[in-house]
Amino acid sequence: QKEVEQNSGPLSVPEGAIASLNCTYSDRGSQSFFWYRQYSGKSPELIMFIYSNGDKEDGRFTAQLNKASQYVSLLIRDSQPSDSATYLCAASPNSGGSNYKLTFGKGTLLTVNP
């Protein structure tokens, strides 16, 4: 059973702080990892993806991957109230072709307090 685990939260941070979201996965065959943001009642939006061990930065977001520990994280710098949402971690055994599948975690609810 392929599983992606996330702390459901809620994670509460003050505006301007760094929010740290964590995710672990069970399938060692997973190669690609994705972070999505989902506002209540809406569908997910892709924030970023990471394939290689280490850090990947995109604006205020940094994804970190450690395949040996089967651990993925997302850091959000200078958190804003508009970042308040549920963050979903997803994993896939590959990222090419048309039929690769994503396994999603349950998500972590982030609240950024003004």
- 74 binds other proteins per the rule CB under 8 A: no
Return the SS3 of 90: strand
Nearest residue (CB) to other proteins, 19 versus 36: 36
Chain position carrying tokens 């970042």: 83
CA distance linking residue 61 with residue 68, whole number of Å:
22
**Residue of the chain from 90, 108, 110, 112 that contacts other proteins (CB under 8 A):** 90
Looking at the Cβ atoms of 85 and 107, the one nearer to other proteins is 107
Task: Name which position in 56, 60, 67, 106 contacts other proteins (CB under 8 A).
Answer: 106
> 10 and 67 in contact (C-beta within 8 Å)?
no
Applying CB under 8 A, does 97 fall inside the site for other proteins? yes
